[in-house]
Chain A
Amino acid sequence: RDSQQAETEHLSRWKRWRRTSSKSLKKALSEVRGLSSYLVLWRRDIHSIEGKFGTGIQSYFSFLRFLVLLNFIIFILVFSFVILPIIISKYGIFNSTIAYISPKNIDKNCTIYEPSGNKGLVYFYTYLKDLFSGTGFLEVTSLFYGYYTIDTVWISVMRYNLPLAYLLATFAYLALSFLWIMKRSGEGFMQNLVHDADPFQSYCNKVFAGWDFCITDPNAAQLKHRSLQYELQMDLQEEKLKQKIAERTMKEKLRIYSLRIFINIIVIAILSGCFYAIYRVTVFSQGNSNVSIRNDTRTDSPNLFMQYLPSMVITLVNFNGPLIFAFLIRYEDYAPALEIKLTLMRCVFVRLANIGVLLFSLWGQISNCDTDKCKPCGYNYKLYPCWESDVGREMYKLMIFDFLVILAVPLFVDFPRRLLVTHCSCKLIQWFGQKEFQISDNVLEIIYGQTICWIGTFFSPLLPAIATIKYFIIFYVKKVILIHTCKPAARPIRASSSNFFFLGMLLIGLILAFIPLGVSIARIPSSKACGPFRNFNTSWEVIPDTVLQFPTALQQILFGMASEAFAVPFFMIICIIMFYVIALARAHKRVVEQLREQLVLESHDKMFLIRKIAEAQR
């Protein structure tokens, strides 16, 4: 306080006024921030988790909160651009009307589509069954793509092009997710690039920033002490191991590399087996839905089990894959940190590739054109008159099943385990012990769910709303599991590396989501019997169509940008900029090294001079 007051006396009047005004501005900002902190979702819950379990697990829950917000914003985006105009015109607000699409130049057969919304008296359980399998009464609601067979919406005298809005909303939510994730992971990524020493393994980081000052519970503190001790000992051991590895002989290296190649081949074989199994199950499940192929009509299987068969197989593979990988990687003799990373990479790949395989096998069925079935329309129109709704339905089922599994596992596995451990003192059960909160498994679960949501939103616009509610409920479920059944992990993951890891995996999921969406928008002909893209060959065509309606000058510019004459030089310029920046970074690193050496020399000089002074004084 004294030093600040002394400072203010020395300033001129102008500067004093500036300082007081900036202070009052800061005060106002802090008031606003104080108010808005009340609005942050779940602030107190996450704070209490942080106090008891540390920042590693807290970062998982912050990640969950981020996903709830992301899905909510995506839903608002899709709702306001696609669903809201339809609602406005359905109720005739602002004098608005809808113009439905009339098919032009299309073979009559392609446009036959009679969704069997339940007519007449049905048993109540049919509604329940429809809710879970997305058929029946759900098929004709705005949940699925087939509902949006609307060309334009006239709001007073303005023409609202719904197909264009639908496609652009899809691109917009993908771009928004991409940018938001990049922004959140920006900091960790920069640090990783600039500093060559691996900051996550650095000893200084572990010792100086090791203790979590947020911990308030003495039991948690005890556990933290033990985990720090364990972590430091592990790192020291790993360092000794690395030295040993560096001293390996040529013969040993050959043996280990050939063993690794062999194990990788096994892993690839297992993965191919799983993918093939998913493919066969999807084909079988779709085939079972076609009850009377003789009449070339398709009615969905009444059997709920058959409908959920692909989801069940995928969940089974997702569950067993990590166990097999963890077992195999022990023989590959990697350093422990690398082991963990590799296992996680493989698990992520399996989970995301499963979704891809499901989609591609579906498309195989849809474009199954062996006996002239696709001639008029480009896809198998008899069995799949509205194929986007079918794909949307599979995504919906995946999401519902994922949610049910996440709810069921704690109920039937974790709570009984906890009850057994506390009440039964049998040796075997005590050896099993209480469950640890496995952050990586839980994160993979959420990323799997989020990837489904991203892919599925194009085919089923209400999916983000379902995802928001799902993650909202999952937050509370996981919190209850954490507090009541888990003990904190012996090997905690650090907060910074976890944040970067979660966002990196999410980004991989997003980029992998681009592929199926790209294929279905640009390659596969859109269904002619339903949906906003009836009159176009593919969904993408709505954009060139709109561009053709622009004035000629703008058209030429846009077509010029899309042609090779522009793309190739653009790509080359980007490469040149990238190489320049990399060279700059390397030069900076060299300067830093030189400055370090200079500092060492300076201190030697200082020591030398001090010794000289001491001698001279004698």
Chain B
Amino acid sequence: GAMGGSASLIPRDLLGEYQELTFLSKQEILLAYKRFSELLPKEERESAFSARVPKSHILTLPELRANPFQHRICHVFSTSETGDDSMSFEDFLDMLSVFSDSATSDIKSYYAFRIFDFDDDGTLDRKDLEQLVNCLTGQGEESRLSSAEMEQLIHNILEESDIDRDGTINLSEFQHVVSRSPDFASSFKIVL
């Protein structure tokens, strides 16, 4: 059926290699290939492996269109040299692998850190946390927390996670606090 058809489009050794390098199973890789090639215009579908899909097309995927972190996700996983956040098939697989069920929590927390780091400076400071909370509560004026509430919330977050009291959260502090969080593994996943 469909699986047999697309299996012939991915050479076997490449499929095996993808299975080794990512956390995805064979069915998931084939399904990812099918969805990725649907995003390409018809002429480019044959050379799916070298094509790059612009960000606007990626954001039409149902799994990403409702996600408030969609721009950050594209930015983090894109390996485009021109900085336009377009994704190749391998970037796409990379993203699905990190968000899959079988990815280790280390990998997930590393990429979560990079996604939440809005200014890409390697630490989560107050501005990053503020933007993070605003993403969570939704776009729009009436859905934001008041500044007093935001202050109290950021103060509490730093209190719980900033171990060395330097006012920012670095990668190891973030990974430590996320390892104690029971919901992280079940919420940080995307399954096609």
Given A208-B112, A208-B184, A232-B133, check contact A600 B165 (CB 8 Å). Answer: yes
- Contact A213–B182 (Cβ < 8 Å): no
Instruction: Report the Cα distance A214→B189, complex, angstroms.
Output: 6
Instruction: Report the Cα distance A215→B61, complex, angstroms.
Output: 12
- Contact A233–B181 (Cβ < 8 Å): no
Residue of B nearest to A597 (CB): B163
Instruction: Report the Cα distance A234→B10, complex, angstroms.
Output: 51
Q: Is B188 an interface residue, CB under 8 A from the partner?
A: yes
Instruction: Report the Cα distance A233→B149, complex, angstroms.
Output: 7
User: Which residues on the A side are within 8 Å of B187 (C-beta)?
Assistant: 55, 209-214, 495
User: Which residues on the B side are within 8 Å of A188 (C-beta)?
Assistant: 182
User: Which residues on the B side are within 8 Å of A229 (C-beta)?
Assistant: 136-138, 143, 145
- Contact B17–A1 (Cβ < 8 Å): yes
Residue of B nearest to A191 (CB): B182
| 0 or 1 for each of A586-604: is its CB under 8 Å from B? (1 = yes) | 0000000000100110111
Q: Is B8 an interface residue, CB under 8 A from the partner?
A: no
- Contact B67–A213 (Cβ < 8 Å): yes
Q: Is B63 an interface residue, CB under 8 A from the partner?
A: yes
Given A232-B133, A496-B182, check contact A215 B160 (CB 8 Å). Answer: no
List 7 A-B residue pairs with CB atoms under 8 Å apart, sorted by A's residue number.
A27-B19, A204-B181, A205-B180, A208-B112, A216-B66, A233-B145, A236-B152
Q: Is B74 an interface residue, CB under 8 A from the partner?
A: no
Instruction: Report the Cα distance A596→B186, complex, angstroms.
Output: 28
- Contact B182–A225 (Cβ < 8 Å): no
* Chain B, 145-171, CB within 8 A of any chain A CB: 145, 149, 152-153, 156-157, 160-161, 163-166
| 0 or 1 for each of B6-28: is its CB under 8 Å from A? (1 = yes) | 00000000001101110001110
Q: Is A102 an interface residue, CB under 8 A from the partner?
A: no
- Contact B21–A1 (Cβ < 8 Å): yes
- Contact B68–A207 (Cβ < 8 Å): no
Q: Is A425 an interface residue, CB under 8 A from the partner?
A: no
Q: Is A226 an interface residue, CB under 8 A from the partner?
A: yes
Given A209-B183, A226-B143, check contact A30 B19 (CB 8 Å). Answer: yes
- Contact B25–A603 (Cβ < 8 Å): no
* Chain A, 569-608, CB within 8 A of any chain B CB: 596, 599-600, 602-604, 606-607
Interface size class of B (residues with CB under 8 A): 35 or more
- Contact A34–B116 (Cβ < 8 Å): no
Instruction: Report the Cα distance A47→B143, complex, angstroms.
Output: 28
* Chain A, 195-232, CB within 8 A of any chain B CB: 195, 197, 199-200, 202-205, 207-218, 220-222, 225-226, 228-229, 232
Instruction: Report the Cα distance A221→B64, complex, angstroms.
Output: 11
- Contact B17–A213 (Cβ < 8 Å): no
Instruction: Report the Cα distance A47→B63, complex, angstroms.
Output: 13
Q: Is B45 an interface residue, CB under 8 A from the partner?
A: no
- Contact B116–A208 (Cβ < 8 Å): yes
Q: Is A31 an interface residue, CB under 8 A from the partner?
A: yes
Q: Is B99 an interface residue, CB under 8 A from the partner?
A: yes
Q: A27-B19, A34-B27 are in contact. List 8 more A-B contacts (CB 8 A).
A: A199-B182, A203-B153, A204-B178, A209-B184, A228-B136, A495-B186, A602-B164, A607-B166
Query: What 7 A-B pairs are tightest by C-beta distance, nearest first?
Result: A225-B138, A603-B164, A496-B182, A221-B66, A229-B137, A209-B184, A209-B183
Q: Is A90 an interface residue, CB under 8 A from the partner?
A: no
Given A203-B160, A211-B136, A236-B152, check contact A34 B181 (CB 8 Å). Answer: no
The contact of B186 among A200, A228, A496, by CB within 8 Å, is A496
Taking the nearest CB of chain A, how far is it from the CB of B41, in angstroms? 24
User: Which residues on the A side are within 8 Å of B132 (C-beta)?
Assistant: 207
User: Which residues on the A side are within 8 Å of B21 (C-beta)?
Assistant: 1, 4
The SS class assigned to the B binding surface is helix
- Contact B181–A199 (Cβ < 8 Å): yes
Instruction: Report the Cα distance A599→B176, complex, angstroms.
Output: 13
User: Which residues on the A side are within 8 Å of B137 (C-beta)?
Assistant: 225, 228-229, 232
Q: Is B2 an interface residue, CB under 8 A from the partner?
A: no
The contact of A495 among B26, B160, B183, by CB within 8 Å, is B183
Instruction: Report the Cα distance A216→B60, complex, angstroms.
Output: 11
User: Which residues on the A side are within 8 Å of B190 (C-beta)?
Assistant: 213-214
Instruction: Report the Cα distance A232→B137, complex, angstroms.
Output: 9
* Chain B, 73-94, CB within 8 A of any chain A CB: none
- Contact A215–B66 (Cβ < 8 Å): yes
Given A4-B21, A226-B143, A232-B137, check contact A203 B189 (CB 8 Å). Answer: no
User: Which residues on the A side are within 8 Å of B177 (C-beta)?
Assistant: 204, 208
| Interface-centre pick from B69, B129, B137, B184 (highest chain A CB count, 10 A) | B137
User: Which residues on the A side are within 8 Å of B183 (C-beta)?
Assistant: 55, 205, 209-210, 494-496
Instruction: Report the Cα distance A100→B157, complex, angstroms.
Output: 71
Taking the nearest CB of chain B, how far is it from the CB of A328, in angstroms? 31
| Interface-centre pick from A220, A233, A596 (highest chain B CB count, 10 A) | A233
Instruction: Report the Cα distance A195→B176, complex, angstroms.
Output: 13
Q: Is B1 an interface residue, CB under 8 A from the partner?
A: no
User: Which residues on the A side are within 8 Å of B184 (C-beta)?
Assistant: 205, 208-209
Taking the nearest CB of chain A, how far is it from the CB of B26, in angstroms? 7
Q: Is A280 an interface residue, CB under 8 A from the partner?
A: no
Taking the nearest CB of chain B, how far is it from the CB of A130, in angstroms? 47
Instruction: Report the Cα distance A200→B166, complex, angstroms.
Output: 26
Taking the nearest CB of chain A, how far is it from the CB of B39, in angstroms? 16
Q: Is A15 an interface residue, CB under 8 A from the partner?
A: no
- Contact B164–A600 (Cβ < 8 Å): yes
| Interface-centre pick from A204, A233, A602 (highest chain B CB count, 10 A) | A204
Q: Is B65 an interface residue, CB under 8 A from the partner?
A: yes
| 0 or 1 for each of A97-116: is its CB under 8 Å from B? (1 = yes) | 00000000000000000000
- Contact A207–B62 (Cβ < 8 Å): no
Q: Is A184 an interface residue, CB under 8 A from the partner?
A: no
